[in-house]
Amino acid sequence: MAEIIDMPKLSDTMSVGTLVKWNIKEGQTVAFGDILGEVETDKATMELSCTVPGTILKIYAPAGSQLPVGAPICAIGKKGEAAPEPSVAPAPKAAAPATAVPAIPEKTDVSCVPAAPASSGSVAPQSDASRAKASPYAKRMAEKAALNVAALAGTGPGGRVVGRDVAAAASAPAAAAPSGPLNVAVTPPADGKGIQPDADVPVGGMRQTIARRLLESKVTVPHFYLEVEVDAAPLMAMRESLNKRLAEAGADAIKLSVNDFILKASAEALRRVPAVNASWAGTSIRTHGAVHLSFGVALEDGLVTPVIRDAHAKTLKDIAVEAKALIGKARSKKLTPNEMSGSTFTVTNLGMYGVTGFFGIINVPNAAILSVGATIKKPVVDAQDRLVIGHRMVIGLSGDHRVVDGANGAQFLQALKQLLEEPALMLI
């Protein structure tokens, strides 16, 4: 018997997934373990493995579709078997259709969303939705999406409204002006070209999660900010010396980055001031014995924070190797949810873009985030009161004031500054 494959729940917080691409086509035979395609979750892009061997009878959702967990995406069965209608779920999955409803933005004025015919067939609108010629599943979908099922054009047998008709209507652009403010230009550019098209770019699962988590952090966490300037000359000298020795050791040797030193120094500073390696637990402060260090990796569609676990127990070289591997996985969108969760402290670095100083938003439930700026040359006064050219780096700390006091944050930055200005200390 043919089986409908639903959008799987690939992470604890996933509610919607985007079908990035299909590796299959209708009529193709698939075996257990074959990779059917790729799904972007709220945390990463993950492969979708086949758990039901057979023939691909039908692909219900094209590549690029954004669907809720539980929505039908394809059907697998015996060759020549008819594909089941996704609007009527198979008996073993009777409860699944209730979740297979297209997501509607919370602020959408649904009264302005028109019916979107999926074919040339049309059904005359009826005033009473309960008497509409539609499948029970389509009626439930329409009710949850706040659509008038009687006003939809049906593509099922005899003009019957089925699930795909409701999905098409729910995802169709509104004909009238959408509700809420639009902060976009209404006048075309004078040259007729502009710098980019005026458009509403669909937001993927990753960007939605970033927006939700940052808003939650900024609204619910009482941030405070501290800043310190570091003499980066000793760090730069040690980095150059170590990389020279590593290069002499072999062509495939790791090259240490400034961020590798920052990560190692952060882990050591947390060892000295463990009060910062903690999180707010509602009615208590949860202290963490291990340093699980996350760091920001910028991608085209957002920022991800892979985690180096037990960083307090790892050498500078260990951290550098692991960070490089995680960056590679992040850029190829192969990080697993486990590799992006469970951090106790976060480091974010914009120095490579020439940013001299900034303060990051706390990556909850961490109690603090370290923000690293670029190393710049500037005139400074040395220990002998001489005006000389110095190498300075500005480091900022955003702290959760429920967990970390100003004194704790200052002590942490003091320890970090000493480690960076005397980098040999972090190698002991």
What is the mean pLDDT, run by run of 10 residues, along the chain of 428 residues? Answer: 85 81 93 89 80 92 88 92 70 35 33 35 41 70 72 75 72 46 60 82 79 88 96 96 89 86 97 96 94 93 91 95 95 88 95 94 95 95 93 97 96 97 91
Instruction: Name the DSSP class of 43.
Output: S
Among 332, 245, 283, which residue's Cα sits nearest to residue 47? 332
Please tell me whether residues 265 and 129 are part of one structural domain. Answer: no
196 assigned to some structural domain: no
**Residue 310 is which amino acid?**
D
The pLDDT value given to residue 154 = 79
Supply the pTM of this predicted model: 0.63
The H-or-E segment that residue 259 falls in is helix 258-272
pLDDT at site 334: 87
**CB atoms inside a 10 Å sphere around CB 123:** 23
In this structure, the answer to whether residues 7 and 131 fall within a common structural domain is: no
Please report whether residue 407 resides in a domain: yes
Q: Give, in degrees to the nearest 5, the angle at Cα 200 between 300 and 45.
A: 35
**Residue 24 belongs to a domain with what CATH number?**
2.40.50.100
Q: What is the pLDDT of residue 145?
A: 66
For residues 267 and 293, the answer to whether their CB atoms sit within 8 Å is yes
Q: Which domain holds residue 123?
A: 110-171
Joined together, the tokens standing for residue 403 give: 């967990």
Among the candidates 148, 171, 194, a domain finishes at: 171
Q: What are the two backbone dihedrals, phi and then psi, of residue 165, each rounded to the nearest 5 degrees?
A: -70, -40
pLDDT score at 131: 53
Active-site residue flag, 401: yes
pLDDT value for 142 = 73
- What pLDDT is recorded for position 137? 67
In angstroms, rounded to a whole number, what is the distance separating the alpha carbons of residues 6 and 352? 42
* Rounded to 5°, angle at Cα 353 from 348 and 358: 50
The residue length of the chain stands at 428
Task: Please give the pLDDT value at position 100.
Answer: 35
CATH (domain of 318): 3.30.559.10
Could you please report the per-residue DSSP string of 380-408? EE-TTS-EEEEEEEEEEEEEETTT--HHH
DSSP string, 247-314: HHH-TT-----HHHHHHHHHHHHHHH-GGGSEEE-SSSEEE-SS--EEE-EEETTEEE--EETTGGGS
Task: Give the model's pLDDT for residue 369.
Answer: 97
Please answer whether residues 361 and 217 qualify as being in contact, where contact means their C-beta atoms are separated by less than 8 angstroms: yes
Both 90 and 29 in a single domain?
yes
Q: Of these residues, 288, 292, 312, 401, which one is catalytic?
A: 401
Residue with tokens 């006048």: 187
Q: For residue 98, give the amino acid letter.
A: A
Instruction: Give the pLDDT of residue 373.
Output: 96
